[in-house]
Structure 1
Amino acid sequence: MNLSIGLALINTFKEPIFRKTKELSEEYAFIYKNGLVNYINNYYDKFSHIKTFIYRDQRVPFYDVYFPVSIQSNQKRITDIQELIDGQRFVAITGNAGSGKSMLTKHIFISNAQGCKSVPILVELRQLNNSDNTIEDLINSVITDNKISPSNKITNQILSEGNFIFILDGYDEIFSNNKQKTTAEIENFVDRYSNNKFLITSRPGAGIESFQRFNNYNISPLDDTEISDFINLQFDKHENKEIANKIISEIGKTSNKHYKHYLSSPLLLSMFIFTFNNYPELPKQQSRFYWNVFETLCTRHDSFSKTGGWQHERRSGLKNEELEKILFWLSYITLFEGKYSFDYQSLSYAIKKIIDKFNINADIDNIIYDLNISLSILIIDGIVYTFPHKSIQEYFAASLIKSLDDNQKQNVYTEKFKKLLLLSNGGNTNFYKICMELDKIYFLKYFLLPEIKSRFRLDIEGDFDKMNYVFEFLNLKLGFVKFNKRYSLKSVTYNSADIVSVVRDGMTFLNIFKTIDEIITGNIDFEYYLNNKGEEILNNGIDKEVLIGIEDLKETVVTNVITNHKVIKDFSNIYNEIRDRIKNFENSLVVEQQGTLDLLDI
C-alpha cells in the first residue's frame, strides 16, 4: 500500500479543511485527519491495481487497462471528464450496462488523489438500501474512520470548505421504496455542501435527470478507432500481441458490421477478447456473449492470461451442469432481492438453500471456492463477493427463467416482474433485453406487452395531441442552455420506466434538436421568457440551463416555438415510432407463436 498518497493529499488540504475548526481538540483532530488518510490509502490501494474481466487471476496496474471513455451531451463528445467536473462541479453521467461507469469512477478517484486536486469520497449508493443511515451518516463514517462524530458542527465546517469531490455511484441501484427519501437526502446534501464537486452515475431510466443542479451527460459508445485502441491496450503487456491483430481483423470484416453495436460496450468487447480463442466469430445476440463467456470459464478459463490454457482444481467435485444450476438459481434469487454482492454468511445461506432443494452433495466452502477461484464468476472485493458485472447476474437469471415450464414462466413474468418494478429504481433495461432475446414469446406475452399497453395510449390521432401526449407520457423536459449570450436546446430528458426504454431503444431526438434550434435563433421573446424563468434557472459557473416541460406549453411564447409545424411533426413522429414498435412486438409475438405451433405439428 502506498501510504504516502493519503498523507500527501490530506497534508495538501490540511489548512483549508481545518481552518474553521479551531475548537477541534487534538484528539478529535486526530480522528478526522487519520480517518481521511486511512480512507484514501485504502481505496487508492484497492483501485490502483485491479482485476478485470480479462485479467482475473492477478491485480494489474489500473492505467495498464483503463480506457478513457467519452461522454456526450447534445451530440458533443467530451474526453477530459476531470476538466469538465472541475469547471461545472455538478455532473451526472448515465451509461448502459458495461459502458465503463465503474472504471470511470475509479479513474476520477485515483486522479484526484494522485494529483492532490480534491479529496475524493466514493459513495456506493446501494449501501443505503439496507440501512437506516443517511448519505451524510455514510460520509461521516468515512471521514472519522467509522468513529462517532464528535460534533455535527465540526463535520459541517470540514465539508463546507469545498475541498472534496463526492463520487455518488449507482443511483439506479437504490431500491424504489428508498428512492424518494434518498433522492431528497442527496439533494439536501449537495445543496448544503455545494462548494464541493459532485459526480453521480446511473444506468438510464432511473430518473437521474431530475437532480436540479446537475448537468446531464451520457457515456458515448466506442467508435471503430476506439474499439481498436481498446483491444491494443489490453494486449500491450501480453506476450502474444498478435492476437490483438486477429481480433481487430475479425471485427473489421464486412460481414460483421451489423454486430459492431455490441462491441461499442467495453464490457462486451472484453468478453469477446476473453472468449476469442474458443469462439473467434461474433455472435448475433448479446446473450450469446454471456454463454460463450461462461463456457470459456468452465473449460479453459486461464487461456488469456496464462499460456497453455490450464485449469484450476475443482474442489467441489461438481460437474459444469451442477455449478451452472447453482449459479442460475443464485442469480435469480438475488437479482429479485436487489442484491449482487454478498458477505460470506449470506452467500453460504443462499447456496445452502439451493443445494438442499436439488439434493446436490457438495461442501459449501468448496462450492464458493470453485465459483471464486476455479471459475472466477464470483470475485472478492474486500470481504464481499460480487459478480464481475451486474449483467452477468442478469444473464444467468434470464437463463433460469427460460428453462422454466409455461406455468412457471407466466408466474415469474407477471408476479415476480411486477415486484421487481416496485422494488427497483430503474436500471433493468439490460435484463429485459436479455429476457427478450432468450425467451421472446413468453416475455412479450406475459410481461412487456401487457405492461406497455397499460401505460401507452395507442388511439391518439392528431399531431398536436400526439405531441402533448409524448410530453406527458415521457415526463419530457427540454433543457435550454445560454452560452455566449445565445440559448440553444442542450438536452431532452425524460423519466420513464425500463420497459419504455426497451421500446424506445435506439430512438433519437436529433431532429427535434435541429428544428428547435433553428426556430429560437434570434427569438427575443423566447429568450426573455427563459431569462425570467427564475425558479428553473441553474447556474454552475459556466452556463444557465432552463427546463421546459408540459406545464410551460400553456404559455404563448413557448407555444409559438413548440407548436411550430415542424416541431409538432417531429414529436408526432416520436409518438408514431413508439406506437409502431408496440404493434411490431404484437405482430412478432403472433408470428413466433404460429411458427412454433407449425413446427410442432411437423
Structure 2
Amino acid sequence: MSGNTLDWNKVAVDLVQKNLDRLITGIYKVSTDQYKQLQIRTRKAFETYLVKAIEKYSKVRTLINRSEPVNLYDFYVDIDLVFNGSVIDTKNIDRLLNINKNLMILGSGGTGKSTLFKHLFLNAIETTSKIPIFVQLRNINENNFSLEDCIYESLSTLGFCLEKEYFIRSLDKVDYIFLLDGFDEVDDDKKPKLITEIINMTTKYSNNYVLVSSRNFDNFSMGWDNFFELKMVPLNKDKAIELIEKIRFEEEVKEKFKKQLSEKLFEQHESFCSNPLLLTLMLMTFDEFSEIPDKIHIFYGQAFDVLYHRHDALKPGFKRPRKTKLASDEFRRVIEAISAFSYLEKVISFDNDKLIEYINKAKKLESLNFEATDYKSDLVEAVCILLLDGLKYTYQHRSFQEYFTARFVSRQTDELQTTLLHRLFKERRSVQDKVLDLIFDMDKYKMEKNIIVPTLRQVRDLSRASTEKKFYLNFLQNYYKLLEMHFFVRKDGRIVVFPHFISLENNLVTRIINFVVEKYMNVDFRNYRFKAIFDSVEDAFNELKIGTICTNKTVDDIKTNLNEKIKHRKPPRYIIVTANYLENEESHDLIMELSSHIKFAVNSALTILDQIEREHEERYSLEELFQVGK
C-alpha cells in the first residue's frame, strides 16, 4: 500500500507514456508531421487529469479530520470482499480484475465503498498499465447526463482538454478501468437507462474494465448478466482495531477505546463496530457517553451532540466558533428540515443557491431568526455535517440525511406524518434506505397508528371472501395487476423460471406489507419466492402449465419465440407479460404456487395486525391516564 513518499506525478506520467502510442493511433488519423504535436496535446490531457485526480482522491476530509484533508492511506484499512463464498483481498486491484472485467461491489451504508474505490483508483495507477477513470454517478441526476457525458464531465472538470469525440474514439484502443461510484445515488427514473448504457458500454468496448459500487437494493442484479457480484465484508475485530490505531485522535481516548474494543465492546456491538463509519462515530462519542446505545437513532443523536459541541480532534483546546448562536435543539431542527426537503426531492448534493434555498425554507418553517449564510458556514466549518466538494455541498455520509429526515417526520402531527409516510413508502429507494426503519424505531406506536394499522385493515376489508383461497386471489386482483414470467438461460443451457408479480397503483400497500413482515418477524419474505429449473422450454410449459396464463399470444407462438431467443442466447433473459392472469380459473392453482412468497407476506402481516390491535386496545390513552384517581 502506498504512502506519502510515492512520487505520484511521476507514476502518472509513466502510465500515460506507456499508453501514448495506442492513444494517438486510436484517436487520430494523421500524417507524420502532425504526430508530434498531437502527442504533446494528448499526453498533456491525460497527465493533467491523472495528476489532478490523484490530488483529489488521495486526500480526504473526514468527520474527525475537519480542519484539513488528510492522506487516504493515513487511515485506510484494506476492505475485504466476498465472491462465491471466497474472501477477496483488495490490496491490489489486479485481484479483482482477474475475477471478471465487469464487477458490482455491493455494501450497506458506511462500509466504505467510495473509500475503497479511491484506493482502487490510486492502486491502478501505481500497479497496472491501465488508465483508471473515477466517475461519481450522482452527477447524472442534476445534469440529465448520459453515461458518456458523465464520464467525460469527470475528466474535463479535472483538466482533461481533449474534445469528447477524441476520447470516445480511444475507448476501444486503450485499456481503461472505469470506477463508477454510487449507482444507488442515481434517481430511480434514471436507473433503467443507465443500466442499459453501462451494459452497452461493456459490450461495445469489451477491452475495458467496469467496476460499479452501490448499496444493496431490490433487483439491482436483474439484467446485469455480464457482471459478477462481490459484497463488502464487515470489519473483523483486528481490522476495527487497526482502523482506530490509524485515526488521528486524542491518544488517551484512543487507547481506552481500543482496550474496550479488544476486551468486550466489539462482541457487544458488532453491528456498529464492523462498520467503518459507525466505528468512527463510536470513537467520537466514547469520551462523552459511557454506554453505546442499542438503537441506531439514539447513537446518531449522540453523534450529532458530539459534532455540535466538541473541539477539533486535531487541535485540542480549540473550539471553532459558530456564527448562528442557535441552541443545539434549534440547530438540529433546521438540519432536520433541510434533510427532509432535500431527501424528498431526491437531492443528495446541492450547489450554493440550492442549499441557501433549503436553509431559508427551514428557517421559515421552524420560525427561527438567523442568517442563512451563517447557518451554511456552521454546517460546513463548525459542525461539519456537510462537506464542500468542488462547487457542491454533500453530507459527510448519506446516513446523516436519512437520520435527520426520520427525526423530522417523527416529530410531525399525525395528519402530516401520515402524508409524509405515504410518500416515503411509495418512493422508498431500496432496502438499504434506513429512513422508514429509523422512524419506526423512534416512535413505533405513532407509525402503527398512522399508516400500518389503517393500511392492513384496508387489505383485510377489501379482500374478504368465504375461503382462504378466494381471499388470497381477491388480494392479488386488488393489488397486483401484472404477472411476468422470467425465463433465464444458464451457461449450461438449462432454463430458470421465476415469476415477478407487479403492483401498479397500489404499490404503497405491498410495500407496507413487506416492511411489516421484515420489521416484526425479522424475515425477508423474498426468500420464499418461487423458482424452478428445467431442461427445456417445453418441460417448463408442460410441468407448470404456463399456457393457462398466456392470454395474449398462442402458446405455440410463445414457445417458438422463446426457443429462438434461447438458441441465439440474445438476450439470455426473456419475459412473458400478462395482465389477465386470473381470468382463467384453470390458472388459479398455478398462481397460488407462483405467488407463495406473497401469500406468506399477507398472512403474516394480517396476523401481526391482530397483535397490534390487541396491544393498542390495552394501551391507556393519555387522557385516561390523567383521569385516574378523579
TM-superposed deviation, 1:587: 4.8
Q: Is the 8 A contact 2:484 2:499 kept in 1?
A: no
Q: Which residue of 1 aligns with 2:82?
A: 72
Q: Is the 8 A contact 1:90 1:213 kept in 2?
A: yes
Q: Which residue of 2 aligns with 1:212?
A: 225
Q: C-alpha distance in 1, partners of 2:37/2:373?
A: 43
1:244 equivalent in alignment to 2:258? yes
1:268 equivalent in alignment to 2:278? yes
Indicate the SS of the match to 2:179.
strand
Return the match for 1:52 from 45, 53, 62: 62
Give the letter for the 2:121 counterpart. F
Report the CA distance shift for 1:274/1:79 in structure 2 as closer, same or farther (over 3 A).
same
Return the match for 1:406 from 401, 414, 418: 414
Report the CA distance shift for 1:446/1:306 in structure 2 as closer, same or farther (over 3 A).
same
Q: C-alpha distance in 1, partners of 2:459/2:127?
A: 49
Give the letter for the 1:364 counterpart. A
Q: Which residue of 2 aligns with 1:120?
A: 132
Q: C-alpha distance in 1, partners of 2:52/2:229?
A: 30
Q: Which residue of 1 aligns with 2:152?
A: 140
Q: Which residue of 1 aligns with 2:589?
A: none
Return the match for 1:41 from 51, 68, 75: 51
Q: Is the 8 A contact 1:351 1:364 kept in 2?
A: yes
TM-superposed deviation, 1:132: 3.4
Give CA deviations for 1:312-342 in whole Å, capped at 9, x if unaligned: 2112222212211211111010111111222
Give the letter for the 2:19 counterpart. F
1:355 equivalent in alignment to 2:378? no
Q: C-alpha distance in 2, partners of 1:406/1:427?
A: 25
1:324 equivalent in alignment to 2:367? no
Q: Is the 8 A contact 1:161 1:196 kept in 2?
A: no
Give the letter for the 1:383 counterpart. L
Worse overlay, 354-363 or 498-507: 498-507
Report the CA distance shift for 1:455/1:206 in structure 2 as closer, same or farther (over 3 A).
farther
Q: Which residue of 1 aligns with 2:582?
A: none
Q: Which residue of 2 aligns with 1:279?
A: 289
Q: C-alpha distance in 2, partners of 1:75/1:432?
A: 31
Give the letter for the 1:601 counterpart. E
Give the letter for the 2:281 counterpart. M
Return the match for 1:342 from 346, 350, 362: 350
1:432 equivalent in alignment to 2:432? no
Indicate the SS of the match to 1:42.
helix
Q: C-alpha distance in 2, partners of 1:488/1:69?
A: 36
Q: Is the 8 A contact 1:326 1:355 kept in 2?
A: yes
Report the CA distance shift for 1:387/1:454 in structure 2 as closer, same or farther (over 3 A).
farther
For the aligned residue pairs, the C-alpha RMSD in angstroms reads 4.6
Q: Which residue of 2 aligns with 1:375?
A: 383
Alignment of 1:508-523 (within 5 A): none
Return the match for 1:390 from 393, 398, 423: 398
TM-superposed deviation, 1:90: 0.5
Q: C-alpha distance in 1, partners of 2:453/2:109?
A: 23
Q: Which residue of 2 aligns with 1:555?
A: none
Q: Which runs of 5+ in 1 are unaligned?
A: 539-545, 552-567
Give the letter for the 1:370 counterpart. D
1:234 equivalent in alignment to 2:238? no
TM-superposed deviation, 1:73: 3.9
Q: Is the 8 A contact 2:80 2:89 kept in 1?
A: yes
Q: C-alpha distance in 2, partners of 1:454/1:216?
A: 39
**Quick one: percent identity of the two aligned structures?**
23
Q: Which residue of 2 aligns with 1:601?
A: 624
Q: C-alpha distance in 1, partners of 2:615/2:282?
A: 29
Q: Which residue of 1 aligns with 2:197?
A: 185
TM-superposed deviation, 1:583: 4.1
Q: Is the 8 A contact 2:456 2:606 kept in 1?
A: no
Q: C-alpha distance in 1, partners of 2:17/2:516?
A: 49
Q: C-alpha distance in 2, partners of 1:37/1:452?
A: 60
Q: Which residue of 1 aligns with 2:4?
A: none
Q: Which has the higher contact order (CA 8 A, sep 6+)?
A: 1
Indicate the SS of the match to 1:597.
coil
Report the CA distance shift for 1:3/1:434 in structure 2 as closer, same or farther (over 3 A).
same
Worse overlay, 388-397 or 132-141: 132-141
TM-superposed deviation, 1:72: 2.4
Q: C-alpha distance in 1, partners of 2:391/2:420?
A: 32
Q: Is the 8 A contact 2:102 2:228 kept in 1?
A: yes
Report the CA distance shift for 1:475/1:245 in structure 2 as closer, same or farther (over 3 A).
farther
Q: C-alpha distance in 2, partners of 1:503/1:536?
A: 38
Q: C-alpha distance in 2, partners of 1:350/1:200?
A: 31
Report the CA distance shift for 1:357/1:285 in structure 2 as closer, same or farther (over 3 A).
closer
Indicate the SS of the match to 2:434.
helix
Q: Which residue of 2 aligns with 1:90?
A: 102
Worse overlay, 72-81 or 367-376: 72-81
Indicate the SS of the match to 2:212.
strand
Give CA deviations for 1:143-180 in whole Å, capped at 9, x if unaligned: 4567786473x433311124111111222222222233
TM-superposed deviation, 1:601: 2.3
Q: Is the 8 A contact 1:36 1:142 kept in 2?
A: no
Q: C-alpha distance in 2, partners of 1:376/1:59?
A: 13
Worse overlay, 50-59 or 571-580: 571-580
Q: C-alpha distance in 1, partners of 2:468/2:181?
A: 40
Report the CA distance shift for 1:118/1:252 in structure 2 as closer, same or farther (over 3 A).
same
Q: C-alpha distance in 1, partners of 2:389/2:85?
A: 36
Give CA deviations for 1:220-243 in whole Å, capped at 9, x if unaligned: 333444444443443799465343
Q: C-alpha distance in 2, partners of 1:453/1:428?
A: 27
Q: Is the 8 A contact 1:475 1:549 kept in 2?
A: yes
TM-superposed deviation, 1:265: 2.2
Q: C-alpha distance in 2, partners of 1:169/1:454?
A: 41
1:292 equivalent in alignment to 2:302? yes
Indicate the SS of the match to 1:88.
coil
Q: Is the 8 A contact 1:95 1:202 kept in 2?
A: yes
Q: Is the 8 A contact 2:45 2:161 kept in 1?
A: no
TM-superposed deviation, 1:473: 10
Indicate the SS of the match to 1:18.
helix
Q: C-alpha distance in 2, partners of 1:43/1:217?
A: 26
Q: C-alpha distance in 1, partners of 2:392/2:55?
A: 16
TM-superposed deviation, 1:112: 0.8
Q: C-alpha distance in 1, partners of 2:409/2:164?
A: 51
Q: Which runs of 5+ in 2 are unaligned?
A: 1-6, 541-561, 578-591, 626-630
Indicate the SS of the match to 2:213.
strand
TM-superposed deviation, 1:355: 2.0
Give CA deviations for 1:85-118 in whole Å, capped at 9, x if unaligned: 3430100122111122111111111111222442
Q: Is the 8 A contact 1:205 1:501 kept in 2?
A: no
Report the CA distance shift for 1:413/1:337 in structure 2 as closer, same or farther (over 3 A).
same
Q: C-alpha distance in 2, partners of 1:126/1:220?
A: 24
Q: C-alpha distance in 2, partners of 1:15/1:449?
A: 67
Indicate the SS of the match to 2:87.
strand
Give the letter for the 1:104 counterpart. L
Q: Is the 8 A contact 1:35 1:143 kept in 2?
A: no
Which of 1 and 2 has greater Rg? 2
Give CA deviations for 1:383-442 in whole Å, capped at 9, x if unaligned: 32211111101100110111111111112112x326635xxx536632221121113234
TM-superposed deviation, 1:348: 1.6
TM-superposed deviation, 1:377: 1.2
Q: C-alpha distance in 2, partners of 1:192/1:359?
A: 56
Indicate the SS of the match to 1:130.
helix
Q: C-alpha distance in 1, partners of 2:101/2:500?
A: 20
Q: Is the 8 A contact 1:206 1:426 kept in 2?
A: yes
Indicate the SS of the match to 2:620.
helix
